[in-house]
Structure 1
Amino acid sequence: MELSIVLLLLFTKLGCKFIQASVISSSVTTKCEHYNSTCADSGHCDDIAVCEPAGEGKRNHCFVLWALNSDGSKNVTLKGCFLNTEDCYDQNACVDKSTSPKNNLLFCCCEGDMCNTNFTWAPVPTEPPPPSTAIPTIEASNSFELMIILGFGAVIIIMGVVLWMIMRARNKHNFNGLPTSDPHPLPPPSPMLDQIRGPIQLIEIKARGRFGAVWRAQLKSEEVAVKIFPIQDKQSWQTEQEIFKLTNMTHPNILEFMGVEKRGDNLQAEFWLITAYHEKGSLCDFLKGHTLTWNELCKIAESMAKGLMHLHEAIPGKSNEPSKPAIAHRDFKSKNVLLKNDMTACIADFGLAIMFEAGKSCGDTHGQVGTRRYMAPEVLEGAINFTPDAFLRIDMYACGLVLWELVSRCKAQDGPIPEYRLPFEEEVGPHPTLEDMQESVVQNKVRPVIQKHWRNHPGLAAMCDTMEECWDHDAEARLSASCVMERVMVQTKYQQSMINWRIENESPFNTQKDGSI
């Protein structure tokens, strides 16, 4: 009787533990501490990364990649979100247990919001502890009971291992974040790179951003721009090239795409995007050191609107060609508008862009992305209507802010030209939090200040009206890119005709003619 009770208690205890271990659900990871040594130098890193939805049957994790210095201090390279690998399942703490890290690099991952705030290296010893010299003594009366208990334990362990192998076979996941071998083959180099193949020599860093650094580089006799994505931003690299490679995507006011390359392997892998190089750089950087004439303002605004209109437009394919879908940029700002030598603009940086193919939904798109100061009220509020038109109107809100930047640095205004400032910099400072922008833009409905003397110039007055209609709080009331382009073209022609009229009436020929009458 006593033996039966012991066996029943043991079976119940072990069985409950096995069942409990099999049904424990992992902590849901929605955000992680973020750090990128590439963008940390520029001071524009976000402290928190909001993880994209993992999708059905998958999990998000947080990770840390760091190196140990000779003095034992830690040198963090990357922190952020990480998608679906079984090694990270049910890890509440971020701990690297490797005994001999490769290249002195350490990596750990965990589950749970901000679980990568603290991390450590705790190597597991490879040599087993020395065997004990003590010989256990077992009473003969208990040996039979022990054999039965061990037998039941062995059966339960075997059953657990079999079930685990079945579940692993059914739900096998790829190591998407830091693969040892790429599960998806990388796209081949573009035909243009095949024709002009040669070593690309990196010359100097021109800009640093959220997704990596942009280099001025040399490809044979041609200057090119190379945008280098670190491994954790591989998805943005893939998104950009997918956008660039679309049929009918080529346009004078869209940055010219030349090709892609992958450099290095595993943790040292880098993903290169090669495009045309524009010496004047971004519109934001140009405005910091230069003012604009009225004609330059119109040229930039018109070409920028044309590029945005082409991006937003769905273009049917000819014969057997696929159609170009409508595309929302989702991070439109003056930093992502480049200036050519002829002072026309081209739009760049499609790492957050989204395509709207006919008959397909937007999917599990995360709505609150982009640069905070350029976020539309509905984005800050988290109240986006997930339709193509809603995303395009978000771009147009940001377009209104860029128009404000242009007007603020135009010499045609009847008054002193202030130093360059970003939109809302006067209201919320240079590094606003999400809460700052929500309070200012959503609750108080603040917009950048339009100076009274700007409206003394008829062209600038019309431009002020245009920007106000672009950043309207009601998304449905905002102008489209084609409407902005048409308005700028009208102002350009109107101002040119006024200049011609003045020249004709102030010429010596007309003075003599009037005097003879």
Structure 2
Amino acid sequence: MHPSKFEVTNLSLDLQSSAQAFCLSRTVAVKCYCYPCHKSHSNGTCETVEGGACYASKSLTTISKNEEQERLMWGCLAPSGGSLFQCEPLPVPHREVTKCCTDKDLCNLQLNLTLAESDYPYEYEDPDTEQRKESGTLMVILISLSLCLIFLLLTFGIVYYRCRRQNLKRKQLLVDCEHETFIPPGNTLHSMIDESSGSGSGLPLIVQRTIAKQISLVRSIGKGRFGEVWKAKWRGENVAVKIFFTTQEQSWFRETELYQTVLLRHDNILGFIAADIKGTGSWTQLYLITDYHENGSLYDYLHLHALDTSEMLLLAHSAACGLSHLHVEISGTRGKPAIAHRDVKSKNILVRSNGTCCIADLGLAVRYVSETNKVDIASNTRCGTRRYMAPELLEETLNENHFDSYKQADMYSFGLVLWEIARRCVINGVVFDAELPYYEFVSSDPSIDDMRKVVCDQRLRPSIPEEWADQDYLHMLGKLMAECWNPSPAARLTCLRLKKTLCKMLEGLEESHK
């Protein structure tokens, strides 16, 4: 830190006072060397008055950043009230040393004037330096603020442009929806499907792409390992949209391929409408659009509704009809291959508004290609639901090259579904709670080992209540489900035989009510 002007002036005054105090102690008048001299002292000397003294002074004055000037001064010092220097005052800022003497004439020429080390030199500061620094700081601040303002304006412009572009796209989409020409006004999805090729493979592909882009999601109605199911709207009509995770692309492709199988369409199989991939560079959605059924799955329906005998048989028979249509092979120029579901359970069966069932979720299904005598199995690694797995699946003894093995495994699972339906039938004003098969033996999320111990090792099956023995239809249904879950796959009922038996039971019930 450099001394201020005020501090330097005080130092000078202190030195002067000290010198005066020293010099005034002597009272003899002497002749002193004087330089620079007053014009009245032309001979280079001056004479002190009584009480005065001779002095010599050396000072160091800064004149520029890298240059300092040394000054030497000699003269007479008045005893009191006089200035420090006889000839002229010293400039400031300065550093100096002053000594006095009175012992002889011209004694001030022999005084040793040495500046203290602390007096050399101190950094010169240009008086404009601080102002230049302040100007530089102000300039940096102004430039920074200008850059921030430009950045904010650019960001705002980009956001505004993108928002405006998205709004224009939305408006254009609405215009396209209103003016599309290849979907005639007033036509419904079902009428358009009925007027199509009749293959049961949904709408024509160009129409599928159009519908998929016009789908408006309403609410989520279910989640699973594949993704999520949404209720959606298309031109005021309810549809169901199954949105697959991007990691489940193989499942989406497989299910789409199976739903587009020729002659698959059936009242008791979930109606396929369209499939599409929607997305941008940052996200992708795999859509599978099907009919929407307000009642939801059979599992949900049984938890909310108690059944009478006719409702029970209608659910069982319609579900059997759907599974039987999958299992059967239709020969012809454009025939339908035999298909096994491989994941039959109450959550994969939907209940229509008329009280009948339809089979859904074909993601794990396999096809039998009779021309090559090969089983077309899905390439994904998913397996069926553990609780509904047949013994041969749990023990890994299923013959994968024999298509009938898959149909027999389906029948085991369907027998468990029949048990779930029969439990909700009202018997003498009493009804059992809706439960999952084997609820009394395993936890809510059993492992394959848990199910193997119960189904294969202990050979247990869902318990049949004693009350069913007194009810003809429940007693007959109990026998059917027992034949379905027989430990020997070959001894199980075929779906066609089960369907015919349930049909006779339903007809017999209707006749008894006449």
What range is the shorter-chain TM-score in? 0.5 to 0.7
1:314-463 matches, within 5 Å, as 314-318=329-333, 321=334, 323-358=335-370, 359-362=372-375, 369-386=383-400, 387-411=402-426, 413-414=427-428, 416-463=430-477
| Map of 1:60 onto structure 2 | none
Residue 463 of structure 2 corresponds to residue 472 of structure 1: no
Assess, with a 3 A threshold, how the Cα gap between structure 1 residues 222 and 363 changes in structure 2: closer, same or farther. Answer: closer
In the alignment, structure 2 segments of 5+ residues that lack a partner are 1-201
Deviation at 1:493, TM superposition (A): 1.9
What do residues 51-84 of structure 1 show as CA deviations (whole Å, max 9, x unaligned)?
xxxxxxxxxxxxxxxxxxxxxxxxxxxxxxxxxx
Deviation at 1:360, TM superposition (A): 4.0
Residue 276 of structure 2 corresponds to residue 261 of structure 1: yes
| Map of 1:238 onto structure 2 | 253
Deviation at 1:219, TM superposition (A): 0.9
On the 8 A contact 2:273/2:289 being kept in 1, the answer is yes
| Map of 1:487 onto structure 2 | 501
What do residues 362-420 of structure 1 show as CA deviations (whole Å, max 9, x unaligned)?
36768982000000000000110121100000000010000000000011x34732221
Assess, with a 3 A threshold, how the Cα gap between structure 1 residues 426 and 299 changes in structure 2: closer, same or farther. Answer: same
CA distance in 1, matches of 2:212, 2:228: 22
Assess, with a 3 A threshold, how the Cα gap between structure 1 residues 496 and 292 changes in structure 2: closer, same or farther. Answer: same
On the 8 A contact 2:212/2:275 being kept in 1, the answer is no
CA distance in 2, matches of 1:380, 1:266: 42
Deviation at 1:494, TM superposition (A): 1.9
CA distance in 2, matches of 1:451, 1:294: 16
On the 8 A contact 2:208/2:273 being kept in 1, the answer is yes
Assess, with a 3 A threshold, how the Cα gap between structure 1 residues 363 and 498 changes in structure 2: closer, same or farther. Answer: closer
The amino acid of 1:496's aligned partner reads E
| Map of 1:497 onto structure 2 | 511
Residue 271 of structure 2 corresponds to residue 273 of structure 1: no
The amino acid of 1:345's aligned partner reads C
The amino acid of 1:375's aligned partner reads M
- After superposing the two structures, state which structure 1 stretch, 275-284 or 189-198, moved more: 189-198
Deviation at 1:471, TM superposition (A): 0.6
Q: Give the match's secondary structure for 2:398.
A: coil
On the 8 A contact 1:262/1:271 being kept in 2, the answer is yes
CA distance in 2, matches of 1:341, 1:403: 20
Assess, with a 3 A threshold, how the Cα gap between structure 1 residues 199 and 284 changes in structure 2: closer, same or farther. Answer: same
What do residues 188-210 of structure 1 show as CA deviations (whole Å, max 9, x unaligned)?
97354357575211110101112
| Map of 1:46 onto structure 2 | none
Q: Give the match's secondary structure for 1:421.
A: coil
The amino acid of 1:448's aligned partner reads P
The amino acid of 1:264's aligned partner reads G
CA distance in 2, matches of 1:439, 1:232: 33
Assess, with a 3 A threshold, how the Cα gap between structure 1 residues 209 and 197 changes in structure 2: closer, same or farther. Answer: closer
On the 8 A contact 2:302/2:424 being kept in 1, the answer is yes
Q: Give the match's secondary structure for 2:325.
A: helix
The amino acid of 1:302's aligned partner reads H
Deviation at 1:267, TM superposition (A): 6.8
Q: Give the match's secondary structure for 1:426.
A: coil
1:115-134 matches, within 5 Å, as none
CA distance in 2, matches of 1:191, 1:264: 18
Identity %: 38
CA distance in 2, matches of 1:363, 1:355: 5
CA distance in 2, matches of 1:364, 1:451: 38
Deviation at 1:245, TM superposition (A): 0.6
CA distance in 1, matches of 2:217, 2:240: 9
Q: Given the alignment, which residue of 166, 191, 208 partners 1:193? A: 208
The amino acid of 1:441's aligned partner reads V
Q: Give the match's secondary structure for 2:231.
A: strand
Assess, with a 3 A threshold, how the Cα gap between structure 1 residues 264 and 344 changes in structure 2: closer, same or farther. Answer: same
What do residues 273-325 of structure 1 show as CA deviations (whole Å, max 9, x unaligned)?
0001000000001111111111111111111111001000111134xx2x211
On the 8 A contact 1:414/1:457 being kept in 2, the answer is no
| Map of 2:170 onto structure 1 | none
The structure whose Rg is larger is 2
Assess, with a 3 A threshold, how the Cα gap between structure 1 residues 234 and 195 changes in structure 2: closer, same or farther. Answer: closer
Q: Give the match's secondary structure for 1:309.
A: helix
1:51-130 matches, within 5 Å, as none
Deviation at 1:264, TM superposition (A): 1.8
Deviation at 1:431, TM superposition (A): 1.2
| Map of 2:110 onto structure 1 | none
The amino acid of 1:455's aligned partner reads A
Q: Given the alignment, which residue of 308, 329, 350 partners 1:293? A: 308
RMSD of aligned residue pairs (Cα, Å) = 2.1
